[in-house]
Copies of this chain bind each other. A is one copy, B any other.
Amino acid sequence: MRGLHRRWSREVLWGIGLLSLMGPTVWAQATSAPTVDAGDTAWVLTASALVMLMTAPGLALFYGGLVSQRNVLSTLMHSFFLLCLISVQWVVLGYSLSFGPDLGGIIGRLTYWGLKGVGGEPNAGMNVPHLAFVMFQGMFAVITVALITGTFVERIRFTAFVLFAVMWATLVYDPLAHWVWGGGWLGKLGALDFAGGTVVHISSGVSALVAALVIGRRRGYPEKVLPPHNLPLTILGAALLWFGWFGFNAGSALAANGLAATAFTVTHAAAAMAGLMWAFIEWKHRGKPTVLGTATGSVAGLVAITPASGYVSTLSALAIGIGAGVIGYWGVNILKPRLGYDDSLDVFGVHGLCGTWGALATGLFASRAVNPLGADGALFGNPGQLLVQLIGVVATWVLAAAMTFLILKVVALVTPLRVTEEEEIAGLDLVLHGEVAYNFLSPGMGGTAHVPARSDAAVAPVRAEEPSRGG
């Protein structure tokens, strides 16, 4: 396995480089036979938990607050169920496909299926246990699939969603992670993606666009869709995303060192700047700064800084944040209405476009002065890096778009993708899950409980609100 984790070993080398400047007292982290360092492990475990938090409750609430009241549970279910589903896929299969021994630069071998032989020993080239690396990476797989769900909320059938998710994780995420981070061809090419601009954000954002086109608009879109039902939930979700993103980006140093602190700082700066930017554009353009706009802007900034977070300075991060605010606002407020697709929660505008901006911006702003083992970008005298970044972007767009299209077509052969119009009116919570999110009514108006006796356990399928009984 040695030599596969090109990106990670870079950072280790960087550590050694720095350490050698500091004299011999700090040799502990730089031994060639890697050992588990408690500090690095503490940080990577913490970061893994933080990235888990991003999916649920972070993203779940960010999305859940934006849909209408009758679909909030089905939206939360997307994220929560994926946390279960993709985590199992990951430990059984996904990790090995992504980070198993390389097979032609394309995919990993199944050596590690079921995490066989993966334990507490240090991972190759790192000072953290192999399993800590597995978990950290697994949380990325989970959230990437979850991000896509924002595009098809309020209409997708649950069966179709489950099939899509498993196939997408296996056929898009795992290969892509291998290409960039697992020893595959993109990483070998020198494409910089510190924490997942291509692997996570472009892939999910572009797939979301394709899914929006294949699955189609919500009934009544755009004139008759309902406004967000609970913005405080959305703001809570956005803040948790920001919080978790420190794990996402600074955790990607895979060590608790200066690089992690750099990534932490530029992440925070870009998020803050992009949030401000979005709010100010709204203020000028439409008369008022909105809370949702500010939160959306900060997420756009977090997306854009992700690939760059280990390679750029704070001032560059501010510039990247400004770009993210402008590009995200344009994508969500101008481009989407003009083209008319119903990417319901703006996955493409925020993750696809700003992820692309971030990947290219890495080719502009990267600097060896920040990270000696990264590369210089175009603004620091190395325009070639921008080209490499462009190749990475294009490859990701193509893979994500083509495979998402294919997967959805295959799923559609097995099961319908959408609920019926009547079900859409009744709401997915009741129709698909038999649950209602809020019961704020007076007692007596909210239904009568009965606990099913044993015999009627195999109960008739629940009726939706709208359909009447026959006859």
Within 8 A of B (CB), among A246-301: 246-247, 250, 255-262, 264-265, 268-269, 271-273, 275-276, 279, 285-292, 294-295, 297-298
5 residue pairs, one from A and one from B, having the closest CB atoms: A120-B258, A38-B39, A39-B39, A87-B272, A129-B261
**Shortest Cβ distance from A267 into B: residue:** B135
* Contact indicator B437/A57 (Cβ below 8 Å): no
Within 8 A of B (CB), among A107-124: 114-116, 118-121
Cβ of A85 < 8 Å from any Cβ of B?
Answer: yes
Chain-B contact segment, one of A75-83, A170-178, A194-202: A75-83
Cβ of A391 < 8 Å from any Cβ of B?
Answer: no
Within 8 A of B (CB), among A41-95: 41-43, 45-46, 48-50, 52-53, 56-57, 60-61, 64, 68-70, 72-74, 76-77, 80-81, 83-85, 87-88, 91-92
Partner of A158, one of B132, B289, B298: B289
Within 8 A of B (CB), among A449-464: 449-454, 457-462
* Contact indicator A230/B437 (Cβ below 8 Å): yes
* Contact indicator B38/A69 (Cβ below 8 Å): no
* Contact indicator A439/B226 (Cβ below 8 Å): yes
* Contact indicator A45/B269 (Cβ below 8 Å): no
Cβ of A411 < 8 Å from any Cβ of B?
Answer: no
- Chain B contacts for A337, CB-based, 8 A: 451-453
Partner of A432, one of B40, B288, B435, B436: B288
Copies in the complex: 3
* Contact indicator B41/A22 (Cβ below 8 Å): no
Minimum CB–CB distance from A292 to chain B (whole Å) comes to: 6
Q: Contacts A69-B439, A135-B261, A239-B56 given: A223-B83 contact, CB under 8 Å?
A: no
Separation of A109 and B53 alpha carbons in the complex (Å): 39
* Contact indicator A440/B69 (Cβ below 8 Å): yes
Within 8 A of B (CB), among A204-230: 222-230
Q: Contacts A38-B255, A84-B276, A438-B229 given: A53-B264 contact, CB under 8 Å?
A: no
